[in-house]
Structure 1
Amino acid sequence: MRFFTSAPLLLASATLVLLASCQTKTDEKGGKDAKKNAGPALVDVLVARPSAVSDSLEANGAVVANDYVELHPEVNGRLTYLNVNEGRHVSKGAIIARINDADLQANLQKTRALLQVSRLSQERLEKLLKVQGVNQADYDLAVSQVRSNEADAAYTQAMLAKTVIRAPFTGVLGLRQVSPGAYVTPTTIIATLQADTKLKVDFTLPEANGAIVQPGSVVTVQLAGNPPRRYPATVVAQESQVNQTTRNLTVRAQLPPGAQASPGAFAKVSVSTGAARRSVLLPTNAIMPGDQSDQVVLVKNGKALMKDVRTGDRQSDQIAVISGLAAGDSVVTNGVLFTQPGKPVKVRRAAAKQ
């Protein structure tokens, strides 16, 4: 079998191959020229100036109310009155709820009637005893009956007092958990009440650092917000023993009056260790975290140089570099991602850190 190929078809194929080869060489040459003509990366630098930076520890904590209680009834019964203004302030002694007390009221009336009769009997026997018209035993029995009736009346009055649920202190009511007419028991939660005038922060420290705080020490508390709110808080007490599971020590600090916080809110507590060391404060975006150590980019002789550093205390927007930098080092703060080791860089703006 024979195959025949026309001359024009071969010529066209050869032409296409030649054009493709020329285009590839042109692209490679253009790419090399582009890399060759690429300018140095633009960066902002900060001239390192070590200074004494106070070392501190950060701990997690929570805001707690000075007083907090769950309002439970002390007796069983049906709610006849409920006054829970959710989220509102109530004064100490304000009536929150009442429980049906009709049976106790009737029992109190019966006891008072018996008490009245027993007192009259005691008075008559007392007069007879003076003229020896009755023996001492009969009179003593009458006195005992009076005291028994008085005790019954006092018990019933105490049970009546338990049918009224009052606010034990001035504070803010939480959400209502029951409705009027509900049958409640001592395990039923009617609402919660917490005092918001004095707020505290409970936080934990490792056992080894428990000695750096004492009653009267001042810590810095940061609460969530935009922007975050910071308050100085005074340590008032610490737990008498270390948690055996976590080996942490719980510390309580008092927030200043007027602090805007909600009980239960997360708090970040900064505790000063009292020690200060020479460090350089850098913006957090100047640090490149690594597996072995953190790194920064320095500008030396117009080129980028990677430098291992050791970091310390970290704040919201700054971090302290403990070692690895010397006074006068130019540290790249903006444009870190555009630099390459040994490649030239162009400083757009320089600043000195005091």
Structure 2
Amino acid sequence: MAKAIRWIVGLLVVAAFAGAGVYGTRYLTGTQSEPAAKQERSATRIAVSTPQRRNLEDRYSAVGTVLPLRSIELRPLAAGRVVSAPVSSGDQLSEGDLVFELDSRAARAELANAEASFEEARQELERFEELEDRNISSEARIETVRAAYRRAEAALQLRRANLDDRRLLAPFDGVVGAYDLDPGEYIDPATVVSTLQDLSAVEAEFALPERYFARARKGQTVRLSARPYPDRRFTGEVDFVSPTIAEGSRSFDVRVRVDNDDRALAGGMFVDAELVFETYEGLTVPDDAVISEGSATYVFTVEDGRARRTDIALGQSSDGQSEIVDGLNEEAQVVVTGWDNLSDGAPVEIVGEAALDEVLD
């Protein structure tokens, strides 16, 4: 009897442990699978955009230097003391304006002497030509008189030029550079008094790599920007393409002519230049959608409610848009925001930009 009771008690204990095991297994399974299921159902909220076709430009960007259309050093053509210096630094001169004048007393005296000698030679020539007409003077004598006349004429022209050289006139309209000249100062042809720059138009010079040599040509459009004018854009055309390639840099120079009526651009100023080779239509996505990791460039697209990593090839990038050369079509739904926590195959929920901002906040 006691043995039977022990057998029944043992059977009950085994049954109790078995029941506890089943219950524990169900409990553990339930507590572990419920979060997993919940996690599977939780989708990342994203905003998407479809690729758009836009007018794009094939262009090259470079840094250039502004050059005046014309620029010269103002030097005297003769030596002497300054008697007039009516110009100040930064003055706008017109062609023919006086820049400075040197003492011309000696030059005027020499000119007067040359004029007198020329008049004597002229009268002598007239007299001998009259004698020649009457066959009184010899041919040799008349040639000697004619030679003397030509020498007197040349001397007169030289003295006139010497007098003109005592005054320097502006050869074209332009702006005077730093000018520090006072009456009484002695200067000679080695003295650089100032500079004169024609800034009514300017040239921007920059270099292009050798690979663009066959594509650069006169007349192409170039857009320029300068740091002093962050909100302004200047436009010009290619005016010169160098016919040679520099050996060291393997590049060639290009010059662009730009109208500068308001004198906004100054000589020596740096400018950012964009040379437009051609315009074309291309497929683009917002820059914010493009992800770069090492050598890989990709976006996340949406297919059947899940994120798909899609490798792409990029072209030009401007105005917040990146050109897609390969990897996408116009029907693709591209994740623009919310992709930072995505992985390939993750469930997603598409919401509007405003709704997404609220979620992220």
With normalisation by structure 1, the TM-score equals 0.69
- What is the distance in 1 between the residues matched to 2:45 and 2:186? 72
Equivalent residue in structure 1 for 2:271, among 267, 272, 276: 267
Aligned residue number for residue 62 of structure 2: 59
Which runs of 5 or more structure 1 residues have no equivalent in the other structure?
1-41
Equivalent residue in structure 1 for 2:201, among 180, 198, 203: 198
Deviation at 1:242, TM superposition (A): 2.2
What SS does structure 2 have at the residue aligned with 1:110?
Answer: helix
Aligned residue number for residue 49 of structure 2: 47
Q: Indicate yes or no: 2:333 matched with 1:328.
A: yes
Residues 295-324 of structure 1, C-alpha deviations (whole Å, 9 max, x = no match): 778999999999876554344766556567
What SS does structure 2 have at the residue aligned with 1:196?
Answer: strand
Residues 104-163 of structure 1, C-alpha deviations (whole Å, 9 max, x = no match): 222222222333333444455555556666544444333322221221111111111122
Aligned residue number for residue 282 of structure 1: 286
- Partner AA of 1:49 in structure 2: P
- What is the distance in 2 between the residues matched to 1:267 and 1:110? 57
Answer yes or no: is the 8 Å Cα contact 1:176–1:190 preserved in 2: yes
Instruction: Note the 1:1-354 alignment, pairs <5 A.
Output: 47-52=49-54, 54=56, 55-126=58-129, 135-256=138-259, 258=261, 260-274=264-278, 276=280, 278-283=282-287, 292=295, 311-315=314-318, 320=323, 327-332=332-337, 350=353
Which runs of 5 or more structure 2 residues have no equivalent in the other structure?
1-43, 355-361
What SS does structure 1 have at the residue aligned with 2:51?
Answer: coil
Answer yes or no: is the 8 Å Cα contact 1:63–1:200 preserved in 2: yes
What SS does structure 1 have at the residue aligned with 2:199?
Answer: coil
Residues 168-219 of structure 1, C-alpha deviations (whole Å, 9 max, x = no match): 1112222215443332222322221122222332222112112323222222
Answer yes or no: is the 8 Å Cα contact 1:297–1:332 preserved in 2: no
Deviation at 1:66, TM superposition (A): 2.0
Larger radius of gyration: 2
- Partner AA of 1:224 in structure 2: R
What SS does structure 2 have at the residue aligned with 1:227?
Answer: strand
- Partner AA of 2:204 in structure 1: V
- What is the distance in 1 between the residues matched to 2:152 and 2:240? 49
With normalisation by structure 2, the TM-score equals 0.68
Aligned residue number for residue 38 of structure 1: none
Q: Identity of aligned pairs, percent? A: 24
Count of aligned residue pairs for this structure pair: 306
What SS does structure 1 have at the residue aligned with 2:233?
Answer: strand
Answer yes or no: is the 8 Å Cα contact 1:93–1:169 preserved in 2: yes
Residues 36-75 of structure 1, C-alpha deviations (whole Å, 9 max, x = no match): xxxxxx9995635243452322122222222222212222
Residues 234-269 of structure 1, C-alpha deviations (whole Å, 9 max, x = no match): 223322222233222222223246464223222222
Cα 1:68–1:287, aligned 2, differ >3 Å: closer, same or farther? farther
